[in-house]
Amino acid sequence: MMSYLTTLTRAFLTRSLRPFRFQNEYDEALPFAGSRRLGLYVHIPFCRQLCTFCPYCKELYDEALCDEYIDCLLREIHLVGGQTQEKKQATSLYFGGGTPALAVRRIGELVAALQEHFIITEGIGLELHPDNVTVETLSALRAAGVTKISIGIQSFGDKFLGILGRKGFDPERLSATLRAVPFETVSMDFIFALPGQTVEDLKTDIATAFSIGANHVAIYPFIDFAFTGSTVKPMGKQQKRRLLDDITGYCEAMGYRRESIWTFSGTPGASYSSMTRENFLGFGCSATTLLKNQFKVNTFSVEEYRRRIQGGTLPTSLTLRFTTRQRMLYYLFWTAYSTEVDPRGFEEFFGVPLNKVYGFEFWLAKKLGFATEEQGIFRMTLKGAFYYHYYENYYTLAYIDKMWGILRREAFPKEIIL
């Protein structure tokens, strides 16, 4: 049913039955020189504990293996970045994982390598486990140029941490450390729609986060990926909708600004999102690259990633060559994640007015109460945000779950059709 729904929606919006066909091919010279609003992402997969709720590419931390991996990351950065003679402007740089803070002593090397090829204009972000939030680690990150951090709290409640297989931590310790080493953005991540979770539980989490030093929160839904081995039972649709609506209403009543479907900021300028970019380059195993006409995925295998890089070759596993309509759909899907779509940006990117291509769909979205139009910009309603979440959940399980499941088993599959 999920696959049927996503396939039907894709066919309607792309006006084609053509699937997304990822093939075992790639360009050694990536055409990013003309890309506007280019983002950068670096994946460091190592963790001290492999949490079953986390679907991302990850490996148990080993210091020697991590060092070898960082050496390969540096080579990949120069392989790609060295393809242009002049420095390319990039909006942002994000380090994700895994737990990239485990490589804290070498983050400065990676930032310096990227700055040889790119001018980063909107800051550098990095993810941390609560255990990594120490004065020593945060000071080293500040010295490396990191301006934004995201702490994977998941919950302050022992009950829900237990469900997720995580141990508790001391919020007051976090607070003292964050006061000692300030950052432009301190984001804290939470998971909602866990068994037995109520809006009061989430209110407590959010209030605690802002009281101990966060100026931004991300509240992501629990998604039951088939390959993670998680035994947590997903929450029902209507209960999940009430939670999302109630927590949105609470955040807005408290004066927090909605930055995206899942994120809210407590102070002007506080933001943390590595996803909402028109184009981006990804470095490291499992990292993805999105350009005007293609989407590529690096191998999920750390061993094969190292082998490719040591041989002087890009570690691409699969590449999707977009049709124009497919690229438009991808653009709108992730632009809408910010809860608004500006037709001017669409026309600048594709050279055609949004109304000419998707006028009926946006008219229908307004009629169904999914969006409003203010001064030419489309903004999601609460109803629209929930159904975006609902479809995104289907998309994740029908497409991403299948692809990542295969890529975790095969370093270089011949083809994946979605």
**What are 72-109's pLDDT values in tens digits?**
999 999 999 999 989 999 999 999 999 999 999 999 99
What tokens were used for 289?
């690259």
**Pairing, β 340-341 against β 294-298:** unpaired
Taking all residues of the chain, what is their mean pLDDT, rounded to a whole number? Answer: 93
**Beta bridge partners of residue 64, listed in sequence order:** none
Q: For residue 63, is it left (φ>0), alpha (ψ between -120 and 50) or beta?
A: alpha
d(CA 366, CA 371): 5
Which pLDDT does position 383 carry in this prediction? 92
Which pLDDT does position 392 carry in this prediction? 80
Higher pLDDT, 5 or 225: 225
Q: Is 416 helix (H, G, I), strand (E, B) or coil?
A: strand
- Residue 236 CB-density burial (10 A; 0-12 exposed, 13-18 middle, 19+ buried): exposed
Strands (E), 314-409: 316-321, 340-341, 371-374, 377-380
Which pLDDT does position 160 carry in this prediction? 95
Which pLDDT does position 233 carry in this prediction? 83
Q: How confident is the model at residue 18 (pLDDT cuts 50, 70, 90)?
A: confident
Query: Which among 11-25, 123-137, 275-289 has the top mean pLDDT?
Result: 123-137
pLDDT of residue 272 exceeding 80: yes
Higher pLDDT, 394 or 375: 375
Which pLDDT does position 157 carry in this prediction? 95
> Mean pLDDT over residues 109-133, rounded?
97
Which pLDDT does position 277 carry in this prediction? 82
Asked if residue 120 lies in contact with residue 146, where contact means CB atoms within 8 angstroms, the answer is: no
Strands (E), 171-307: 185-192, 216-221, 257-258, 263-265, 279-283, 288-290, 294-298
Number of neighbours of residue 209 by Cβ within 10 angstroms: 26
Residue 236 is given by DSSP the state P
ω into 98 cis (within 30 of 0): yes
> Mean pLDDT over residues 138-147, rounded?
98
HSE, side-chain direction, 13 A CA sphere, residue 395: 13
Asked if residue 197 lies in contact with residue 283, where contact means CB atoms within 8 angstroms, the answer is: no
The runs of H, that is alpha helices, within 267-323 are 302-310
Query: What share of the chain has pLDDT > 70, as a percent?
Result: 98
Q: How confident is the model at residue 16 (pLDDT cuts 50, 70, 90)?
A: confident
Which pLDDT does position 7 carry in this prediction? 73
The runs of H, that is alpha helices, within 104-233 are 104-115, 135-144, 158-164, 171-180, 199-211
Q: How confident is the model at residue 41 (pLDDT cuts 50, 70, 90)?
A: very high
Which pLDDT does position 151 carry in this prediction? 98
Side chain identity at 89, as an amino acid letter?
Q
d(CA 30, CA 294): 10
HSE, side-chain direction, 13 A CA sphere, residue 335: 21
d(CA 39, CA 288): 11
> Mean pLDDT over residues 237-255, rounded?
91
Instruction: Select from 57, 28, 32 the least CA-distant residue to 319.
Output: 28
d(CA 166, CA 154): 9
Q: How confident is the model at residue 244 (pLDDT cuts 50, 70, 90)?
A: confident
CA distances from 56 to 27, 225, 358 (A): 25, 10, 33
Which pLDDT does position 401 carry in this prediction? 86
Which pLDDT does position 5 carry in this prediction? 63
Q: 110-114, 167-171, 306-310: which has the minimum mean pLDDT?
A: 167-171
d(CA 77, CA 70): 10
Which pLDDT does position 274 carry in this prediction? 76
Sign of the CA dihedral with 222 first, then 159, 243, and 342 last: negative
**Cβ contacts of residue 176 below 8 Å, gap of 6+?**
none
**Pairing, β 288-290 against β 294-298:** antiparallel
Higher pLDDT, 235 or 62: 62
Q: How confident is the model at residue 6 (pLDDT cuts 50, 70, 90)?
A: low
Which pLDDT does position 390 carry in this prediction? 79
Instruction: Select from 244, 284, 223, 186 the least CA-distant residue to 54.
Output: 223
Buried b (16+ CB within 10 A) or exposed e, 350-370: beeebeebbeeebeebeeeeb
pLDDT of residue 2 exceeding 50: no
Radius of gyration of the chain (CA): 21
